[in-house]
């Protein structure tokens, strides 16, 4: 069964400072001339989501992700095309935006719940469970303006988590709250997933899309560029990022601000394995840079982060004998790694150039490194090894109890 | 230009076949609720102006009726939170106005009241007028006051102006007890005709809803509405028989004068409550007719602007 269907949907925004200028109403510009202040956020977008499927939508800022979400939740309407939604749809977007500061927690539960389409009887039945989930305890009788921001968000999510959606929309919800709260959110989401609910997940967090979704869409400038397995779509998204517009846009900006050197790109390749970058196989990383002045004592760094955000490893030109001397011009730093030890997954990558210990260009989370399964590894790392069975021991083993 | 969410229940055939393949007929969810297999199917079309939007809009409104109730309740709650006098404010406003008009229209100049003491005379008209004007003035700013609600969540937007109408109606009921007290004090007798006040207030509420829907939708696009509203309402008050009676209006202008339902309804309210007479049914019918025409028009207009409210606000 198809739960969600976009049929040739387009959305146009008027992007003038004053929205739709009242002048249009009394004459000038009335004749349907092409006005400059228009932007097509979606162009002829068609896709379907099956029951029980988790669809991830990725794309740059302004690609149209949020517009899809707003149209789905009914906040705004398409300019052309139509959308069919089968079942109760709930959007987990800024979960506490319906709160009124003067009202107490309980009053807000009723108000916010009603805005999300719950009946009062339904809220009354679930009230205890909502309060328990939120963990605000006795503060539930206090006006929410006295809440800490964490309590605010927790209460909002607690209400949303008690809705019983057929289709769940998520928009970077996981980006808010502390670690324990995020774990709770994820737990609830996977609970709903196991239950066969349909999900649409909109995120910049490629690792999360990779982990949570069955399928992904890549949006760019309001069009669907690709639709398929998350791995393949994320690949394409990354290629698009590095091929392009983004880095060159930055280039112009940096010329103006006078950064003496900057990273212009990064690529990862696997010279020996045609299937891509794999655990236990060689990796080549190439960092391209552009220097405008000569830079003494330069150091390049490629930092690789776990999906959890901790630093996993770093490729660096740093050495005991001091940095490099960079001359103006462009160049490529090539790191040769005979064996990549990290386990399969998506890693985020930072690039940096330092001079005399001071950062002169840092690109945070500018790329993603995807490692596919290669040699069998569990835990965090693959330990290079060979093994054989022998009869005689050079020294006796410690007995295992 | 409006959202047309058509809510229809998926045909039993399709649902049953799907249930047989993928799911049992009902199943326990993690929240412990039994989910029925019949899911509502909603189709979102691009905005298009049609009268059909009224019926689909009303259907959605019924689904969200609990929100209207909750929001109205909390409007009252919030309004008097952190105020020392609380609910008495609902009575204080008409009382203060009654005081000042009584001084002006008994000491400075006089108007014909048909033998009723002026305080009761003016208070009986101030009640419905304040109900009407406070509905309009609060509803007009209602939509733009919390832009986050409009850009982050969806619910039928008309609930916001309508909730202000319901809250004003509650204030009206509180202030009515003061009117009762005044009538006892001034020994103004009550008759059975007072029951006509109910349909009169209903028509007035419907007309207030129409005006509130129209102007609150317009306010999202043109903030001029909110700026003009205070003095527009002030002028409006003097075009309806609040401080004077309908008898003071020259006979030849009365037809035109009564085209405004507010004028006819306020005069009617005063007639049945303090004069103890039956209302003028011809006027009442006219007021009803104007309301019946204007409410659906205002609602359709509101729904047509609702589609783009989140983009414009």
Give pLDDT tens digits for A347-368. 888 899 988 888 888 888 788 8
Task: Answer whether A344 touches B (CB < 8 Å).
Answer: no
Quote the minimal CA–CA distance from B201 to chain A in Å: 28
For the record, the structure tokens of A163 come out as 């809705």
Q: What is the ipTM of this complex?
A: 0.75
Residues of chain A in contact with residue B310, where contact means CB-CB under 8 angstroms, are 70, 75-76
Radius of gyration of chain A (CA): 26
Per-residue pLDDT tens for A85-98? 998 888 877 666 77
Q: Is residue A256's pLDDT more than 80?
A: no
Interface contact A164-B150, CB threshold 8 A: no
Give this prediction's pTM: 0.73
Residue of chain B with shortest Cα separation from A74:
B154
Confidence band, pLDDT 50/70/90 cuts, at residue A176: low
Where is average pLDDT lowest: A25-34, A191-200, A288-297, A334-343? Answer: A25-34
Distance CA(A372)–CA(A142), nearest Å, equals 51
Q: Which of B30, B46, B151 sits opposite A80 (nearest CB)?
A: B46
SS3 B238: helix
For the record, the structure tokens of B284 come out as 């009442």
Residues of chain B in contact with residue A69, where contact means CB-CB under 8 angstroms, are none
Q: B-contacting residues of A 171-230, CB under 8 Å?
A: 191-192, 195-196
Are β-strands A215-220 and A54-59 bridged in parallel, bridged antiparallel, or unpaired? parallel
Residue of chain B with shortest Cα separation from A107:
B74
Residues of chain A in contact with residue B151, where contact means CB-CB under 8 angstroms, are 75
SS3 A65: helix
Confidence band, pLDDT 50/70/90 cuts, at residue A270: confident
Q: Is residue A180's pLDDT more than 80?
A: no
Distance CA(A145)–CA(A160), nearest Å, equals 20
Instruction: Judge whether A51 and A131 are in contact, CB under 8 Å.
Output: no
Average pLDDT, chain A: 81
Interface contact A195-B69, CB threshold 8 A: no
Confidence band, pLDDT 50/70/90 cuts, at residue B68: very high
Q: What is the dihedral of CA A374, A376, A381, A384, to 10 degrees?
A: -90
Interface contact A102-B41, CB threshold 8 A: no
Per-residue pLDDT tens for A188-209? 888 888 888 899 988 877 777 8
């Amino acid at each position: 069964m198809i739960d969600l269907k976009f049929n040739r949907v387009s959305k146009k925004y008027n992007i003038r400072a004053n929205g739709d200028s009242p002048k249009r109403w009394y004459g000038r510009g009335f004749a349907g001339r092409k006005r400059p202040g228009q932007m097509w956020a979606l162009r002829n977008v068609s896709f379907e989501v099956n029951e029980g499927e988790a669809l991830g939508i990725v794309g740059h800022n302004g690609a149209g992700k949020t517009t899809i979400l707003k149209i789905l939740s009914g906040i705004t309407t398409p300019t052309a095309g139509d959308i069919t939604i089968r079942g109760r749809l709930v959007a987990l977007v800024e979960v506490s935006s319906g709160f009124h500061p003067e009202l107490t927690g309980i009053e807000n539960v009723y108000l916010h719940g009603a805005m999300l389409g719950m009946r009062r009887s339904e809220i009354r039945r679930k009230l205890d469970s909502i309060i328990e989930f939120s963990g605000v305890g006795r503060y539930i009788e206090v006006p929410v303006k006295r809440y800490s921001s964490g309590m605010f968000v927790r209460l909002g999510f607690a209400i949303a988590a008690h809705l019983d959606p057929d289709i769940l929309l998520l928009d970077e919800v996981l980006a808010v709250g502390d670690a324990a709260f995020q774990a709770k959110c994820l737990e609830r989401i996977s609970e709903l997933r196991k239950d066969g609910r349909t999900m649409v997940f909109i995120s910049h967090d490629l690792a999360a899309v990779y982990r949570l979704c069955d399928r992904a869409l890549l949006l760019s400038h309001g069009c669907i560029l690709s639709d398929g397995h998350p791995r393949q779509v994320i690949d394409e998204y990354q290629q698009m990022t590095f091929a392009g517009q983004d880095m060159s846009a930055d280039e112009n900006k940096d010329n103006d601000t006078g950064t003496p050197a900057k990273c212009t790109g990064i690529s990862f390749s696997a010279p020996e394995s045609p299937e891509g970058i794999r655990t236990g196989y060689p990796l080549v990383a190439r960092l391209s840079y552009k220097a405008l002045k000569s830079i003494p004592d330069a150091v390049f760094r490629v930092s690789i982060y776990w999906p959890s955000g901790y630093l996993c490893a770093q490729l660096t030109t740093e050495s005991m004998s001091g940095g490099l001397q960079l001359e103006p011009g462009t160049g490529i730093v090539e790191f040769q790694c005979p064996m990549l030890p990290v386990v399969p997954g998506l890693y985020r990558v930072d690039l940096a150039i330092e001079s005399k210990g001071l950062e002169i260009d840092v690109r945070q989370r500018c790329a993603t490194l995807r490692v596919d399964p290669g040699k069998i590894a569990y835990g965090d790392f693959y330990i290079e090894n060979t093994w054989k069975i022998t009869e005689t021991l050079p020294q006796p083993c410690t007995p295992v109890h | 230009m409006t959202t047309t969410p058509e809510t229809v229940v998926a045909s039993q055939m399709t649902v049953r076949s799907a249930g047989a393949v993928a799911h049992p007929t009902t199943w326990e969810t993690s929240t412990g609720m039994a989910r029925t297999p019949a899911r509502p199917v909603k189709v979102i079309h691009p905005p298009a102006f049609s009268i059909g939007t009224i019926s689909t809009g009303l259907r959605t409104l019924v689904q969200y009726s609990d929100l209207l109730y909750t929001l109205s309740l909390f409007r009252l709650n919030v309004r008097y939170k952190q105020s020392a006098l609380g609910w008495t404010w609902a009575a204080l406003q008409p009382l203060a106005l009654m005081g000042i008009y009584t001084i002006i229209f008994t000491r400075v100049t006089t108007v014909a009241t048909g033998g009723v003491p002026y305080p009761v005379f003016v208070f009986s008209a101030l009640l419905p007028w304040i109900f009407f004007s406070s509905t309009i003035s609060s509803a007009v700013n209602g939509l733009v006051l919390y832009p986050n609600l409009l850009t982050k969540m969806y619910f039928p937007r008309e609930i916001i102006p309508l909730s202000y109408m319901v809250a004003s109606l509650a204030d009206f009921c509180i202030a009515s007890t003061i009117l009762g007290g005044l009538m006892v004090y001034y020994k103004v007798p009550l008759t059975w005709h007072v029951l006509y006040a109910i349909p009169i207030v209903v028509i007035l509420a419907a007309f207030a809803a129409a005006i509130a829907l129209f102007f609150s939708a317009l306010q999202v696009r043109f903030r001029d509405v909110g700026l003009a509203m205070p003095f527009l309402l002030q002028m409006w008050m003097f075009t309806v028989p609040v401080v004077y009676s309908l008898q003071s209006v020259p006979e030849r202008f009365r037809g035109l004068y009564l085209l405004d339902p507010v004028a006819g309804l306020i005069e009617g309210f005063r007639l049945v409550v303090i004069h103890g007479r039956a209302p003028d049914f011809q006027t009442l019918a006219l007021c009803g007719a104007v309301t019946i025409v204007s409410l659906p028009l205002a609602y359709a207009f509101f729904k047509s602007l609702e589609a783009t409210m989140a983009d414009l606000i």
